[in-house]
Chain A
Amino acid sequence: MTEFFKHLKYVLLDNPITLIAGIMFLVIVVVAVMGSAIAPYDPLASNAALTLKAPSWQHWFGTDQLGRDVFSRVLVATRLDLVIAVSAVAISFIVGSFFGSLAGFFGGWWDLIVGRMADTIMAFPLFVLAMGIVAALGNTVENIVYATAIINLPFYARVARTEVNIRRNAGFVSAARLSGNSEIRILITQIFPNILPPMMVQISLNMGWAILNAAGLSFIGLGVRPPDAEWGIMVAEGTNFIVSGEWWLALFPGAALMLSVFCFNLMGDGLRDLVDPQQRT
């Protein structure tokens, strides 16, 4: 374990950007967890007298068209966006790597079917597929999560398949076989933990993509329902106010969105360094 932490410390210090990304990630998680506890105003409370006020000392990020405090909404939206990202990626990861591992380990029919299904999903323009799923099922947070999960499945399936395939006949696996372990047991206990590292990178990158996806859906009107605060829908609504000069409605949630996605992407790089120095990109 100390080896791990020594390695972690080395990676973080060697690459200051990864350190910064790590800190940003912690901040995001803290804000998400604490949510409305730290928000100065009620994110849902409208106020007729204070609509569209520019940023000031009372309202750091200004107010929106219904008089709601933008800063509070941005803070509270952190949780919703993080939840969307984490759930979508988690489902994607679990289901995708499960089938991918089966395909990589057993080959044959498994490989064929999983491969074809992954190809079918990947053949669709991904965003349009997400749009189609949400349009068909209705725009609730659950459906957005499912749609995002589905379009990301193939990546995990592919990575899992490749990684499992490589290790299928490795030394330690053969040893486990000789010891009498069943194939399934080998897959779960021996191989799976070893493929986790390369998957972690993919997970981190995907989280950023999941948030952007939800934002894009909101822009078209298929995002979360009002009055929920979510960065994407705040940016989408805010773009209507840019030309008339109320730039703060779109800028702050957009900046929050960008910083989070930025953070996840950089973390992905950091995780890659942590996990497999040879593949550092």
Chain B
Amino acid sequence: MNTNSKLMIIIRRILHAVPSVIGIIIVTFVLTRALPGDPAVYFAGPAATAESIQEIREALGLDKAWPEQFWIYVSDLVVGNLGVSISTGFPVAEELARRLPASLELTLIALIFSISIAIPLGIAAATRPNSWVDQVCRLVVTAGVSLPVFFTGIFMIYIFYYILGIAPSPLGRLGIYFMSPPHVTGFYTIDALLVGDLEVFWAAFVQMIMPAITLGIFTLAPLARMTRASMIQVLSGDFIRTARASGLSRGTVLYKYAFQNALLPILTTLGMVFSFMLGSNVLVEKVFAWPGIGSFAIEALIVSDYVAVQGFVLAMAILYVILNLTIDIIYTLIDPRVGLDG
């Protein structure tokens, strides 16, 4: 009975996502068509004449009416053809496949950093509510989320690289003298480990430290707050009182019982934070010369490369939908309360 109703909920959630995807496709199309700048002019290059521009406009199909262009766009999409980027000359799908691992790798490291600070802080704050520990925790994480991300990034480069010289040069994913490991996942750290290459692993890892910290500082607040709130809620529950009364050690009570039960809302926040990071790393990538999808999007937008922007936005949006769906599904599967009234 239970599994059936859970399955129903999952299927329903997947179906719910479909109209969103349709909406996304339409909005993406309209938005990119509204971008200023004429791709035909860009393509025609310097020294083009009005005739050659018109020729190119026809070749790109830009002279057709919007509904017709939309139809072409959708039919291409269905076969997975995201078009060829005007500014880079490569198929958009290829660009995304090349750049997505770079962003994902950075985001994941940033997330790990964020979690490793936010959760202990949140737990500490939860166990001593309203004490000075709680206030300090609140101040620290709020400060983190109040700074513009590019500001933090540039100051970090200035202080740790330029003045102190302890940070590696902000050149991107690898230092000058290192070449990327053979491509398996696109994550340089994992790929390097797969061939047992510790130098490249380390080289790739150190390049991520500063950008990951910059990104991670920004997400301390939601994680710490949710941890604190969730833990407080759980700690006030009856079963905790019982566990304490039974004489279980503080550590056991805290980690074995309280934390595990507080996990669910934390997981949801984690998902939200991850998807937020993936979208907002645009600025961090610009500052640290990180060749991810964020910098791809900015460059494409500035030159009004509508094909690339379309492809990027669509890919990101679908990624989000899948991500949120996955979290919903995990939540549904884990939470024993869901599905009981199904």
Q: A interface vs B, CB < 8 Å?
A: 14-17, 116-117, 119-120, 122-129, 131-133, 135-138, 208, 212, 215-216, 219-221, 232, 235-236, 239, 242-243, 247, 250, 254, 257-259, 261-262, 265-266, 269, 281
Contacts and interface: CB of A to CB of B under 8 A. Distances in A.
Interface residues of B, number: 54
A161 to B, nearest CB: 15
9 contacts: A119-B19, A124-B279, A212-B146, A216-B149, A235-B150, A257-B146, A257-B148, A265-B221, A281-B229
The 4 nearest A-B residue pairs measured at CB:
A125-B279, A120-B23, A261-B146, A136-B34
A281 to B, nearest CB: 4
B122 to A, nearest CB: 10
A116 B20 contact: yes
Contacts of B145: 208, 261, 265
Contact of A128 (B138, B155, B282): B282
Most chain B beta-carbon neighbours within 10 Å: one of A129, A131, A132? A132
A126 B280 contact: yes
B321 A123 contact: yes
Interface of B: 16-17, 19-20, 23-24, 27, 31-32, 34-36, 130, 135, 138-139, 142-143, 145-151, 154-155, 158, 162, 221, 225, 228-229, 232, 276, 278-280, 282-283, 286, 297-298, 301-302, 304, 309, 312-313, 316-318, 320-321
Contact of B225 (A120, A242, A281): A281
B31 A136 contact: yes
A275 B236 CA distance: 21
Contacts, number: 148
A216 B148 contact: yes
Prevailing SS type, chain B contact patch: helix
B72 to A, nearest CB: 21
Nearest to B122: A281
Contacts of B283: 127, 216, 219-220
Nearest to A254: B151
Nearest to A115: B16
B280 A127 contact: yes
A132 B314 CA distance: 13
B154 A242 contact: yes
B309 A132 contact: yes
A266 B142 contact: yes
A124 B317 contact: yes
A184 B181 CA distance: 64
B171 to A, nearest CB: 15
A48 B156 CA distance: 31
Contacts of A15: 130
B161 to A, nearest CB: 10
Contacts of A262: 142-143, 146
Contact of A17 (B16, B139, B221): B139
Contacts of B149: 216
A124 B138 contact: no
Contacts of B34: 136-137
